[in-house]
Structure 1
Amino acid sequence: MSQAVIDPKDKTIVVSGITGKQGGATAKALLDKGFKVRGITRDVNSSRAKAWAEKGAELTTADLNDQASLERAFEGAYGVFLITDHGESGAVEKEVKKGKATADAAVAAKVQHLVFTSIGNAKAAKFPEFHNKYDIEQIIAKTAGLPYWTVIRPANFFENMSKDSSFAPKDGVVQGLNSAKVRTQAVGCRDIGLVAAEAFLHPEEYHKDVIELSAEELSNEEVAQVLSKVTGQPWVYKQMFIFKIGILNLIGYKYQKMANFWAKPGYCGDIKKMRERYPWLQTWEEYFQEEYGKQNNQS
């Protein structure tokens, strides 16, 4: 990597979703690199927002559906880190509109670099909750007036098995949507943030870069074995029955589509190349060591 590095001093990066896992990881990485961070949140008085203020971030409110509010939030900023979600009514359509509003606001505010976190193998996903990320990628790529843009396509998250996740290991069981032998690529949110920070530091190198970010590919059965090694306790993998038979109405249907995607075509990162580029990428074992360590967490 020989491209020039910019000086982060006095450069502000606006981070959407700063109180979430990806946004929070990115904010931390940026602050550690010397950038100023301006976090977008719905409630600047929430405990999570105040925690970021104590770490040195500036907090502001903005609506990703409202371009004018975004332009105000982006004023004077060098870069923008964008993460979108479909957790609202009219989810899919609104998510794409958020992407367009953000790109247009970035141009209007003369932002130099937009980094968007999408989803692994987004183009191949045949259902809206995943494919809409690809639609946003295309909007960003076609937006005139953006000096630099970068897309990060992360695979499944290690954090899906964190202590506070709905898939948290419990009572000796690691649970998930697919069968035990299905291999799934994964990466930690920490590393999404670190890669985003690298992109902002190296704008020329990362311009128009679409990064299929994966750190490791294990079967669900192997993930349970890794957890057993780390905790010193026996863990087994079991497929969640409710998703296996495809019930739970619309929610179950959505998760079933996700499970089908993870099985085939799945994520497509070149893990060898990713580890050559980012040798510090976490493994499942390292993540579990941080999250669970050598203790009994089966209660």
Structure 2
Amino acid sequence: MTARKILVVGATGQQGRATIAALHSSHTSASPLQIIALTRSATAPRAQSLQSSYQNVELLEGDVKDPGPIFQAHPDITSVFLVTAAVAAESRVDHVVFSSVDRGGNDLSWDTPTDVPHFAAKHEIELLLRQSCEEAQREIHWTILRPTGFMDNFGPTFFGSFMATLWAQGMPADRKMQLVSTHDIGVFAAKALLDPERWAGQAVGLAGDDLSFSELQQVFERTVGKPLPTTYQVLARPALWWIAEVRTSFEWFSNCGYGVNIASLREEEPGLQTFEVWLRDSSSWGQHTAA
């Protein structure tokens, strides 16, 4: 049987790697897959790690802003997963899965770019992708995934401590934030890529938990066995005051926020990770979790 060929753009990033892992778990001799991992440097350690971890992955150097050479090298690519620019119009694929961001629920997200620049850019790409698919001379399907905040931002690094401190300083104590693991983004990306007809024309918000900062701390300490690391407030406060995108983001989190129906999503994927499950099973904290 001829292997289906799927292009993963941003393959060495968190979402790209999670998507490749989920696709790889579905690869069998009865339903073979060939995964083309687009990277800026095939010799970079992260790229080499992908190739050594997954036998059905082929590294391809390229730039999504110049898609021509990519599809000339692999004209039989059928599906694409991407987190940045839409490429449907320039390619021969029949299904594009785009990872965007939730902006208050699936219905509200279509008409709400928000004042957060990163969110607004994702909104613009969503509209461009949908329009380009509708105007194409052939049938091209689209699926949009809309993740919420990443659980993976709270790993055992300085960045994780900094993000925790930003949350503590930037939002009311009782204000909840929805979170999703990149593992689950990969799971849903693979679902869409492997079953285009079912997922065509759908925009799906992704979240596995909904926590206030105090609840985040409680879950972390119960699971890992020590307090959630934070850093000096003097480092977080200037970012909230002076970095426009950080300030605007936390104003939006405080006043509007994500709006995913987690219960409905869990019916689709019972293995959807809560923050506790992510800490134990998928995070770098796993080896430190309490017995």
TM-score (norm 1): 0.81
Instruction: After superposing the two structures, state which structure 1 stretch, 227-236 or 27-36, moved more.
Output: 227-236
1:42 equivalent in alignment to 2:24: no
Q: Is the 8 A contact 1:113 1:203 kept in 2?
A: yes
Q: 1:199 aligns with which of 175, 179, 192?
A: 192
Quote the Cα distance in structure 2 between the aligned partners of 1:114 and 1:74. Answer: 16
- Listed one character per residue, the Cα deviations across residues 60-104 of structure 1 (whole Å, up to 9, x for unaligned) are 0111221323433552111000112xxxxxxxxxxxxx32xx122
- Percent same amino acid at aligned positions? 27
SS of the residue 2:159 aligns to: coil
The 5 A counterparts of 1:260-275 are 260-275=251-266
Aligned counterpart, 1:142? 131
Q: Is the 8 A contact 1:152 1:212 kept in 2?
A: yes
Quote the Cα distance in structure 2 between the aligned partners of 1:164 and 1:153. Answer: 26
TM-score (norm 2): 0.83
Q: What residue identity is the alignment partner of 1:218? A: L
Quote the Cα distance in structure 1 between the aligned partners of 2:42 and 2:287. Answer: 37
Quote the Cα distance in structure 2 between the aligned partners of 1:149 and 1:222. Answer: 36
Aligned counterpart, 2:106? none
SS of the residue 2:160 aligns to: coil
1:60 equivalent in alignment to 2:60: yes
1:131 equivalent in alignment to 2:120: yes
Q: 1:118 aligns with which of 100, 110, 117?
A: 100
Deviation at 1:134, TM superposition (A): 0.9
The verdict on how the C-alpha distance between 1:235 and 1:79 changes in structure 2, with shifts beyond 3 A counting, is: closer
The verdict on how the C-alpha distance between 1:118 and 1:240 changes in structure 2, with shifts beyond 3 A counting, is: farther
Q: 2:165 aligns with which of 170, 175, 189?
A: 175
SS of the residue 2:97 aligns to: strand
SS of the residue 1:182 aligns to: coil
Q: Is the 8 A contact 1:111 1:146 kept in 2?
A: no
Aligned counterpart, 1:279? 270
RMSD, matched Cα: 2.5
Q: Is the 8 A contact 2:19 2:190 kept in 1?
A: yes
Q: What residue identity is the alignment partner of 2:119? A: F
* Number of residue pairs matched by the alignment: 267
Q: What residue identity is the alignment partner of 2:246? A: Y
The verdict on how the C-alpha distance between 1:174 and 1:254 changes in structure 2, with shifts beyond 3 A counting, is: closer
The verdict on how the C-alpha distance between 1:236 and 1:79 changes in structure 2, with shifts beyond 3 A counting, is: closer
Deviation at 1:276, TM superposition (A): 1.1
Deviation at 1:128, TM superposition (A): 2.3
- Listed one character per residue, the Cα deviations across residues 103-134 of structure 1 (whole Å, up to 9, x for unaligned) are 2222xxx2121100001115342232211101
SS of the residue 1:116 aligns to: strand
Quote the Cα distance in structure 2 between the aligned partners of 1:12 and 1:130. Answer: 30
- Listed one character per residue, the Cα deviations across residues 27-80 of structure 1 (whole Å, up to 9, x for unaligned) are 111111112210000100111111112222100011122132343355211100
Q: Is the 8 A contact 2:176 2:212 kept in 1?
A: yes
- Listed one character per residue, the Cα deviations across residues 143-171 of structure 1 (whole Å, up to 9, x for unaligned) are 123431100000000001012461238xx
Deviation at 1:216, TM superposition (A): 1.0
The verdict on how the C-alpha distance between 1:47 and 1:237 changes in structure 2, with shifts beyond 3 A counting, is: closer
- Listed one character per residue, the Cα deviations across residues 214-256 of structure 1 (whole Å, up to 9, x for unaligned) are 111000110011010012224487895555465674xx22111
Q: What residue identity is the alignment partner of 1:263? A: S
